[in-house]
Amino acid sequence: MNDGRTGEADDVKAGKELTVVVNGRPRAVSAKELSFDDAVELAYPGGPRGDNWVYTVGYRRAHGDKSGSLTAGDTVKVKDGMVLDVTQTDKS
């Protein structure tokens, strides 16, 4: 019996926008995966980049109810309602 609901995988395949909570603020995304750089840009759009800036990205409630952290080059599968915590540090 079909109750009209789709699973998270179906939502992503269909290109549906999902809501990701970034530093307490909801953000709409349509990508299947988010990279470290994507997370930083969602948290700090157009924010400073370079050798003096360090970003830390943590996530929870991701696809498969996974949690963890991202480093440069890493990706995580998106799930509606997942949470990203991104911090920015100036090394100067």
Whether 21 is covered by a domain: the verdict is yes
Q: Residue 71: inside a domain, yes or no?
A: yes
The pLDDT tens digits of the residues spanning 17-29 come to: 999 999 999 999 9
Q: Are the C-beta atoms of 70 and 57 separated by less than 8 Å?
A: yes
Looking at the domain assignment, is residue 47 inside a domain? Answer: yes
The answer to whether the CB of 77 falls within 8 A of the CB of 63 is yes
Within a domain: residue 2?
A: no
The answer to whether residue 12 sits within a structural domain is yes
* Host domain of residue 86: 8-90
Asked if residue 51 belongs to a domain, the reply is yes
Structure tokens, 22? 């970034």
Q: What is the arithmetic mean of pLDDT over 2-9?
A: 45
72: domain CATH number is: 3.10.20
Residue 14, pLDDT above cutoff 60: no
- Counted domains in the chain: 1
Tens digits of per-residue pLDDT, 36-49?
999 999 999 999 98
- 25 phi and psi, to 5 degrees? -115, 130
Residue 59 lies in a domain: yes
Is residue 3 in some structural domain? no
DSSP state of 63: G
pTM: predicted TM-score of the whole model, two decimal places: 0.81
